[in-house]
Structure 1
Amino acid sequence: MRELETLFERRPATEADLATARARFVDGAAKSRPRGWKRLGPFLAALATALVGMTVAVFLRPVSVGPPPPPEPPLLSGAEILRRAADVAEAQPLLKAKPGEYRYVRAAVAPLSTRGSASYTTTEVWTPADGKGPWLDRSTTERVETLSPILCGYEHPPSWPADLSYRIPKGTVPVYANQFLNVKIKIQVAAAYPLQTARLLRVAAEFPGLIVKRGVTDAAGRPGVSVLLDTVGYNTGDELIFDPHSYRFLGVRFVYPNESVQGDPMNPGKVIKKGDVLNGWALLSVGVAQALPAREDGIKRREAPKRRCPKF
């Protein structure tokens, strides 16, 4: 009987242990049958039922499969995505930089020549934090760079007006399409400036005819959701790409929008069809440095001529 008490105090952990326990108690019951079978029989029947239940419990013990996958993000409209992305950008602090220091933006670029492949080039743009002095545009993959002697106001986001919407005129469909393209260009320039990025996204959120594409990737191969403009059948191929969960701005791309098929200038013998991604730009990182990077061996540096800055 002590073994019976031990069984209920410490349940067998495996089926093998249960089988041993059953055999031991059945054998004990057989030996004691002549003296007290009538009294022991009901107890052994109850014990057998309990052992069967414990066996089932061993086999049905839940198995841990790790944390559940994250839930699918809610289906938002293009305007809602742009506004959320603006909130995310505005919450990011501006990297502090002193006069004479430089802010740089590192990005992945997938040009037409790499269409259909997973490769991309890496570019860096270094601009003076105070807007004064030369700036550098370099391709770290192709090992070429261009040094420009002056940074114009339209290339320096802190020089932009606080209200950017007045530069987005209301008008015909092509005007909206052209202005969406302007937003796409300016948002790359503003990559190191969260406040200007947020303002541009809020301007774009007011455009009519915004469309959302899911399951897209940026130039760096990251999954995302894109917003583009399609007003009264006038489809631009310009798209803004965002993280599908946080709605953080990831980059931009251009998708061939036309029904007609045309030859691929970079790949003779191939054609470009509607929906083909022709180029892309993906933000990788931003930073601050005390000075422009030193010219490295093997990198070609071209000095751009001095120019007059247009009115901004």
Structure 2
Amino acid sequence: MDELQLVRERTADVPLPDLAELQAARARLVAVTAKEPRSRKRLWLAGTATVGIAAAITAVVSFAPNGDGPLAPPRAAADPVRVLHDAAAEALKLPSTPPRPDQFVYVKTQYADSDREAWISADGKHDGYVRQDGQTLTLQACVDGKYRVQGANNPAANGTEEPCVVTPAYRADLPTTADAMFQYLDKHHSGEAGDVNAMGKDVQMLVGETYLSPRTKAALFDAAAKVPGLQAVDHVTDAAGRPGVGITWPGHGVTLVFDAKTFTYLGTTQGAVVGYGIVDRPGQLPR
């Protein structure tokens, strides 16, 4: 294999350390080797000569000083738990601007062959709608436990009322700590107890077409980091073609994608969140 190509593949998603970090790392490496006996140093140098340019350059790119201890890897895409914790830290930087009950959460999602725009009632008690493939679907409000049927295949059903459960886009009811959020997910997810696939789907749903406060979103990502069997996937792109690092769950067919440098949530490999905001009425776009 071309060694330069190997370097590119192994380091594409790893942020480069700055010059100060490299100088400090070199100084520490020299200090450590200076303490070794001469014969061992010669053996060490001979060994490093055989590892090849790819491994040598990868070591320079992938390691940075960590206090006074041994060299440690930076916050790299290869660690799914670290990625989710960094995503939680990034979420805490978001402005806290919760919508009013009469407002709508606007989300635009880009798929491989279409876009979806949704205007979802913040309190779940106002009609919103979804627009996709040239069609518009009304999202019926749920008021006093009932919604009014519209557009049914049976014309006689139109105007009648059916029981419903309010599903607000603004989830002010969710926990704001990782432990409490994990317990919530384990109890309320759509599958059986211990079903990490279903838990992954619920995480995807909550981080998708809802509004979460910064603390709640951070708790969601920190709780997701507790799910067993997480895997990170390097060199992925979301459905809009934006590069990032992916996180998957066992049996969960969807890969969540985070920016490899900022750890901002981008969407999934199947649907990318390309528009988001709070608006006053359906059809209005965020400023």
Do these two structures clear the TM 0.5 threshold for a shared fold by scoring above it?
A: yes
Of 101, 118, 143, the match for 1:125: 118
Structure holding more strand per residue:
1
Change over 3 Å in CA distance of 1:126–1:209 after alignment to 2: same
- Matches of 1:284 and 1:159, distance apart in 2: 24
Runs of at least 5 residues in structure 2 that lack an aligned partner in the other structure: 1-13, 17-60, 62-73, 143-164
Q: Is there any run of 5+ residues in structure 1 with no aligned partner, and where?
A: 1-68, 111-119, 254-279, 295-312
Matched to 2:181, the amino acid is L
Query: Amino acid of the residue matched to residue 184 of structure 1?
Result: Q
The code of the aligned residue for 1:156 comes to A
Q: Structure 1 214/184 Cα, relative in aligned 2: closer, same or farther at 3 Å?
A: same
Distance in 1 (alpha carbons) for counterparts of 2:266 and 2:172:
24
1:228 aligns with 2:244: no
Contact 2:105 2:209 (8 Å CA) reproduced: no
Sort the Cα spacing of 1:104 and 1:194 in 2 relative to 1 into closer, same or farther, 3 A: farther
- Residues 184 and 240, structure 1, Cα contact 8 Å, conserved in 2: yes
- Candidates 184, 189, 196, aligned match of 1:167: 184
Q: Residue deviations 1:147-181, cap 9 Å, x none?
A: 12215544434243324322333999961222112
Q: What secondary structure sits across from 1:158 in the alignment?
A: coil
Q: Does 1:250 align with 2:266?
A: yes
How far the C-alpha of 1:183 sits from its partner, in A, is 1.3
SS in 2 for 1:236: coil
Match of 1:33? none
Amino acid at match of 1:203: A
Q: Percent identity?
A: 25
TM-score (normalizing by structure 1): 0.52
Decide whether the 8 Å contact of 1:214 with 1:225 is kept in 2.
Answer: yes
Provide, for residues 66-92 of structure 1, a one-character-per-residue CA deviation record: whole Å limited to 9, x for no partner: xxx962774251111011111111211
Residue number in structure 1 paired with 2:171: 158
Q: TM-score, normalised by structure 2?
A: 0.56
Q: What is the CA–CA distance in structure 2 between the aligned matches of 1:174 and 1:158, rounded to whole Å?
A: 23
Mapped partners of 1:164, 1:157: distance in 2: 16
User: 1:146 matched to which residue of 2?
Assistant: 137
Q: Deviations over 1:173-199 (max 9, x none)?
A: 961222112212222123665444322
1:34-80 deviation digits (Å, cap 9, x = unpaired): xxxxxxxxxxxxxxxxxxxxxxxxxxxxxxxxxxx962774251111
Contact residue 155 and residue 189 of structure 1 kept, 8 A: no
Corresponding residue of 1:86: 88
The one-letter code matched in structure 2 to 1:147 is T
In 2, distance between residues paired with 1:96 and 1:181?
Answer: 24
Residue 169 to residue 291, structure 1, CA distance change in 2 (3 Å): closer
Deviation at 1:246, TM superposition (A): 0.6
Paired with 1:288 and 1:196, the residues of 2 have a C-alpha distance of: 17
Cα deviations by residue, 1:209-243 (Å, 9 ceiling, x for unpaired): 1111100010001011001123xxxx432211100
